[in-house]
Chain A
Amino acid sequence: MTDESALAPRTRALQLFDGLVTDTSLRRFLEGIPGVDAVGLEQRAAALGTRSIKTTSKAAAIDTIISMIDLTTLEGADTPGKVRSLVAKALVPDAGDAACPQPAAVCVYGDMVATAVDALGAAHGQISVAAVATAFPSGRASLRVKLADTADAVAAGADEIDMVIDRGAFLSGQYAQVFDEIVAVKRACRREDGTSAHLKVILETGELNTYDNVRRASWLAILAGADFIKTSTGKVSPAATLPVTLLMLEVVRDWFRLTGERIGVKPAGGIRTSKDAIKFLVTVAETCGEDWLTPELFRFGASSLLNDVLLQRQKLATGHYSGPDYVTID
């Protein structure tokens, strides 16, 4: 990355490959990125996880976390009723406290986008609708189907598209195929009026096996035009671990230093307690800076996290421990 041309915005960064994005040029670049010091990374993540955040800082952290949540339901058993109740929860997270912030978005399957948009009504815009697309969670479908899936969700009113990369292609070294797919899906995010839905690219780090692969996939996704890079689908374990998120944040930080462009990060899956979520906030602030602590640049993909955060919030407000009877069941 010492090349002069890399110090330019994304389009010029692609000139690294002489204008031709091929497996060979991508491999030369991605596999030329230095390897990850796994022990150092895990140690750094563990150290960041030991910060003690109390009282007013904790209250601020909790409100920040809520405003960053993509409230998610991605079950085969989802119904329009379930999506409507999810939206109702997003609109009024805590019925006992009108000052409670709202989550950033609701995240649903493509066929539920219209239901979610309808249920949000006038609040659509202040709360976004994110849709998973491209044959989520496996990504095993032809490009034609993936693009149709994406265009469908965008047409139904989705503000954000969460796509999955083709892990099979990535792991077998067909980087250009993964790159082209992201570019194509990004194009499918275009709306008729010329604006575009935000694109989050899910790397599914649980299937990438090594930290080196996570770093390469992050670079690949960003080069191809991702607005956000997202750890996982939530369907594969391990999902969003702190070291993997830290690693992705480092790539985002490096990209910002090179190009001045801010890319978002979204850990998803397995973050269930506010204690865990606060560790992520610390990691973001320490890696990318506090500028990144906004819903535009950092999100949590979660469902049960919101309830735990609300319980903590109630504890801080009332001074006594709250219980699951005092938050909605979902």
Chain B
Amino acid sequence: MSRLAVPKTYKLFIGGKFPRSESGRTFEILSAKGDFLANAAKASRKDARDAVKAARGAVSGWSGATAYNRGQVLYRIAELLEGRRGQFIDEIQRGENVSRAIAERQVDDAIDRWVWYAGWADKYTQVAGNANPVAGPFFNLSVPEPTGVVAMIAPQDSSLLGLVSVVAPALVTGNTVVVVASERFPLSAITLAEVLATSDVPGGVVNVLTGSPAEIAPWLASHADVNALDLAGAEDLDWVDLQISAADTLKRVLPPEGDAFPSLDRITAFTETKTVWHTKSML
């Protein structure tokens, strides 16, 4: 007797919880061959608003944690990703219709990339910051600080690696993130959210929306409480318009970049340099 399949409904990840879309909408995720894989929530602009609110609430805690602590928390995520390796490989293989070897490589790359970024948490300040020489008995220090809430359009052609490549570098410095997952391959994004929910990352630091980037991105780009916009996966959108509406509220914007190759630039892209003066002597 054949068993009735129990397909999973993939929900959103907002503020550490897994709500359905406020709009009640879902969409079907099909494999590359056209088979039904799962239902996913189709986020609305109000879900985006809620996600930004959650992300804003998480900024002070996450950016206030010590760099060393953030590094530990991020490394712990890599450990948990390793534990779910099989599930990720399975999802990627079915979703993207690739061989098992290619799926394995994508998961391994994603985990390695996460570890690489985690290591930067207590090191990037030394590279991006500086003790400036000044003509007086003062310390003059330039220190990079997180920008705040970063909205992202994840690379659309990759299930896991693209998402990790944009989310991890923003988290390293203490930003919080609202990310719109790949429209075609959103399942790994929600599985990653399940990893984050059971890790030490505080609720609201990462928020994952699934659905149509074309629908949600304009609301995020114009949202006055979003500080930066990563358009990594926005090649197919009207991303010039997104940049224009982001400029209205002085957001930092990264242009589309499909592979989001790991680099220190991605880490420092969402930091602001603060320079402070301190007297050198006790007087």
Q: Point out residues on A near B: beta carbons under 8 Å.
A: 314, 319-326
Contacts and interface: CB of A to CB of B under 8 A. Distances in A.
Interface in B191-242: 219, 222-226
A321 B245 contact: no
A323 B245 contact: no
B272 to A, nearest CB: 14
Interface string B47-73: 001001000100000000000000000
A320 B225 contact: no
Interface string B115-142: 0000000000000000000000000000
Interface string B243-258: 0010001000000000
Contacts of A324: 56, 225
Contacts of B225: 321-325
A3 to B, nearest CB: 52
A314 B224 CA distance: 10
Chain A interface helix/strand/loop/mixed: loop
A322 B224 CA distance: 5
Contacts, number: 27
The residue among B52, B223, B245 with the most chain A CB atoms within 10 A of its own CB is B223
Contact of A325 (B49, B224, B245): B224
11 contacts: A314-B224, A319-B222, A320-B222, A320-B223, A321-B49, A321-B222, A321-B224, A321-B225, A322-B224, A325-B225, A326-B224
Nearest to B224: A323
A321 B226 CA distance: 10
B95 to A, nearest CB: 32
A249 B52 CA distance: 37
Contacts of A319: 222
Given A321-B52, A321-B222, A324-B56, 13 more contacts: A314-B224, A319-B222, A320-B219, A320-B222, A320-B224, A320-B245, A321-B219, A321-B224, A323-B56, A323-B224, A323-B226, A323-B249, A326-B224
A137 B183 CA distance: 55
The residue among A314, A320, A321, A323 with the most chain B CB atoms within 10 A of its own CB is A321
A324 B225 CA distance: 7
Contacts of B219: 320-321
The residue among B49, B222, B245 with the most chain A CB atoms within 10 A of its own CB is B222
Closest 3 CB pairs of A and B: A323-B225, A320-B222, A323-B224
Contacts of A321: 49, 52, 219, 222-225
A108 to B, nearest CB: 29
A319 B218 CA distance: 11
A323 B178 CA distance: 15
Contacts of A326: 224
Nearest to A321: B223
B223 to A, nearest CB: 4
B45 to A, nearest CB: 8
A79 B219 CA distance: 40
Contacts of A314: 224
The residue among A319, A323, A324, A326 with the most chain B CB atoms within 10 A of its own CB is A323
A323 B249 CA distance: 10
A324 to B, nearest CB: 7
A322 B219 CA distance: 11
A320 B49 CA distance: 10
A322 B222 CA distance: 9
Contacts of B52: 321
Contacts of B223: 320-321, 323
A326 B223 CA distance: 11
Interface string B144-167: 000000000000000000000000
Contacts of B224: 314, 320-323, 325-326
B50 to A, nearest CB: 11
Contacts of A325: 224-225
Nearest to A322: B224
A321 B245 CA distance: 12
Nearest to A319: B222
A319 B219 CA distance: 9
B148 to A, nearest CB: 10
A319 B248 CA distance: 13
B245 to A, nearest CB: 7
B52 to A, nearest CB: 7
B44 to A, nearest CB: 13
